[in-house]
Structure 1
């Protein structure tokens, strides 16, 4: 499934030259991941409050292709590209109009925080919704 997360670049997202300061792409990837889980029916706030499950970040990477500026409208298209027993990789592609301006990914672990944090198997009902075969586009 592909989930679209829409955002507008704010003044505080930019540096002195008026270009988006790079850490904001990582912030937006994190936000897009939370939107992804909400869109497939598993909001991360509910997962944590009801099951003490979270998806901590293990690795992140982003490549910048073209700058974003104040008030640019951006679409982040997110999809799970790899899923293992306890860990998954989610891809994020940033678009300004039809032009891809950046792309990145996060690797995250399905983790129980009931006691000491410990990675645990991704439940089948979640896995089925995350699988790339279940492609479709959801706009948030």
Structure 2
């Protein structure tokens, strides 16, 4: 199964006084990994917003923690598509410290037009859906 990898180093500001990552940062990093995913497949969020007024609003997120992360560790997030519906999709994220899985989470997002009075979900365009399917999890 193909994934997109997003790598980063944990900063001191991401941790508590003991140097352990504060849990909300996992949600911040899943958001960053999602936007990185779209950049890698050729549809950066910034371009979608500026050129087409498309946003990817978050509808739901969850994360399970298996092991703590610490200041100055290197982390890789593997991201893949779990499900694609007409206007909504699910991204699955796996956090790795070297080869060890330390957390897993998902985000459910909508494909939304932001140029109107209020955001409105729109069907995911076929060319983008095809690119996303390249990273779909097969059971």
Structure 2 length as normaliser, TM-score? 0.94
SS of residue matched to 2:81: strand
Task: Select the residue among 94, 116, 119 that pairs with 1:117.
Answer: 119
Asked which structure has the greater RCO (Cα within 8 Å, sep 6+), the reply is 1
Unaligned runs of 5+ in 1: none
Q: Secondary structure of 2:29's match?
A: helix
- The normalised TM-score by structure 1 is 0.93
Q: SS state of the match for residue 12, structure 1?
A: helix
Decide whether aligned partners of structure 1 residues 73 and 53 sit closer, same or farther in structure 2, where only a CA change above 3 A counts. Answer: same
Partner secondary structure for residue 29 of structure 1: helix
Which residue of structure 2 lines up, in the alignment, with residue 86 of structure 1?
87
For residue 135 of structure 1, report the CA deviation from its aligned partner.
4.3
What residue number does 1:46 align with? 47
Separation in 1, partners of 2:83, 2:135? 13
Give SS of 1:19's match.
Answer: coil
Contact residue 81 and residue 135 of structure 2 kept, 8 A: no
The residue number in structure 1 matching 2:107 is 106
Question: Can you give the 5+ residue segments of structure 2 that lack an aligned partner in the other structure?
Answer: none
Cα RMSD after superposing both structures? 1.1
State the partner residue of 1:129. Answer: 131
